[in-house]
Amino acid sequence: MKTTKSHPVAIIGAGPVGLAAAAHLSIRNQPFLLFEVGNTVASNILAWKHIRVFSPWRYNIDKAARQLLEQTNWQAPDEEGLPTGEELYQQYFKPFAELPFIKPNILLNSKVISIGRKNMDKMKTWGREELPYVVQVLHNSEVNQYEVKAVIDASGTWNSPNPIGSGGNYAVGELENKRKIFYGIPDILHQHEARYKNKSVLVVGSGHSSINAILELDKLKAKYPATEIHWVLRKKNVRDVYGGQEADALEARGALGIKIEQLVNEDRVNVYTPFQIQQINSKDNKLTIVGFQHDEKFALPQIDEIISNTGSRPDFSFLREVRLSIDSSLESVTEIAELIDPNIHSCGTVRPHGEKELQHPDKDFYIVGSKSYGRAPTFLMATGYEQVRSIAAAIDGDMVAARNVELDLPETGVCSVDAGGSACCGVESKSRATSTTSCCL
């Protein structure tokens, strides 16, 4: 069976970029199915719903999605406001997903477990491009198959956190003690207060997520004085994470650097840097963190809880039958690796890219959003919107639009080459006067 125009496009992941892909395909009258493993759209956003982003609303809403929403009685938020994750969901993602021509095409609680060409394994070539893709989806303990003409993988990296151990590996004892490790951004002052109050808490990581966690733990300590805060970084100097502070054009982002420096200077947080974690031991319900600090063996005992903010990595397990082109070091799409390599670039020097750079050996298969960047921490939500705009145009046969660049970003100051591994959802920088990150968390 050959692919036809009536076959839908499969979108994997109903996060910001996956929903934007749905918007652009909808405007072009291209049928689509959107598979989301969570029980609601933007489920990963809701995991940090208590966090306020750095970038104002005008940079967080995809243009095609806005166009569709404005055809209804939707009330656009204040363009200069800084939304929380909850507000992004309630005022943007949820209303968009409930549009009558979008909602029927979203399949929630649907985990994609395999993708491949119909009746053809990865090794076979002849006639491959003429066959539809078959997407196998696990839904309510039942596996269903869908034939599609193209695939846009916007599944992100949020659900594949990096280990705590140095060198990208799990520390010895890390898996055995996962019940005491929170990978992500806990709601320390509300939902998870009981977990951390009057406890000795270790935060691991150097990005804005870890800074937010430390600032909230400090507020918790004001209420529960027995709370102890420890901070492990791999950086040589803690000052490297302070960013542009007053010079940052995004005021809320610069304020984080100012606040964390104040906490460090006042000895309200115990800092260990550079610290390479090797092992986590457990005894009497307490953890001892063993590693090397300044190349000397060091042990940090009596830890109750760990918050891990060491970033994330892509999951390719369900793409075993797809011919991919993945960079061996970044695990990004190969053609954009040189553009985004954090050893060379900051977010501010990554140029926009689209369908051409995101192609894989298997035609009409694309990885977009933070997953397209692999392990690189320089991804921007607005860049993801541009990716799917270009891809939707190419799927529609509009190659002129696919090759155009339609990304307009503000002057915001420069981001550092290490954003702590968090997926950025703010805006890019064009000026290089300061050193700070563009991640929203």
Q: Which domain holds residue 116?
A: 9-159+312-403
Q: What is the pLDDT of residue 420?
A: 35
Mutual angle of helices 208-223 and 251-265, in 10-degree steps: 60
155 and 17 belong to one structural domain: yes
Per the DSSP assignment, residues forming a β-bridge with 282 are 287
274 upstream amide cis, omega within 30 of 0: yes
Domain shared by 296 and 234, yes or no: yes
- Tens digit of each residue's pLDDT (9 = 90 or more) over 54-93: 888 998 999 999 999 999 999 999 999 999 999 999 999 9
**Domain boundary, last residue among 308, 340, 369:** 308
Percent of the chain at pLDDT > 70 equals 87
Based on the domain organization, do 286 and 365 belong to the same domain? no
Comparing 24-38, 251-265, 377-391, the range with the smallest average pLDDT is 251-265
According to DSSP, the β-strands at 32-35 and 181-183 are unpaired
Residue 239 confidence class, pLDDT cut points 50, 70, 90: low
382 or 13, higher pLDDT: 13
Residue 33: enclosing H or E segment and its boundaries? strand 32-35
- The whole-number pLDDT of residue 439 equals 39
Give the pairing type, strands 142-148 and 133-139: antiparallel
Tell me how far apart the alpha carbons of residues 49 and 62 are, in angstroms, rounded to a whole number. Answer: 19
Which of residues 288, 308, 328 is at a domain's end?
308
Confidence of residue 405 (pLDDT cuts 50, 70, 90): confident
Q: Which residues contact 404 (CB under 8 A, 6 or more apart)?
A: 390
* φ, ψ dihedrals at 215, nearest 5°: -65, -40
Residue 142: per-residue pLDDT: 96
Question: Is pLDDT at 339 greater than 90 in this prediction?
Answer: no
Whether 348 and 235 map to the same domain: the answer is no
336 and 354 part of one domain: yes
Residue 196 scores a pLDDT above 60: yes
Does 440 reside within a domain?
no
Q: Phi/psi zone of residue 419: left (φ > 0), alpha (ψ -120 to 50 degrees), beta?
A: alpha
pTM here is 0.88
Residue showing tokens 């009596």: 302
pLDDT of residue 305: 98
Q: 14 with 34, same domain?
A: yes
Note the pLDDT of residue 184: 92
pLDDT of residue 425: 39
Both structure tokens of 263: 């906490």
Could you tell me which of 98, 86, 109 has the C-alpha nearest to residue 40? 109
Question: What is residue 52's predicted lDDT score, i.e. its pLDDT?
Answer: 87
Note the pLDDT of residue 98. 98
Task: Establish if 438 belongs to a structural domain.
Answer: no
Q: Whose CA is closest to 128, among 138, 140, 136, 120? A: 120
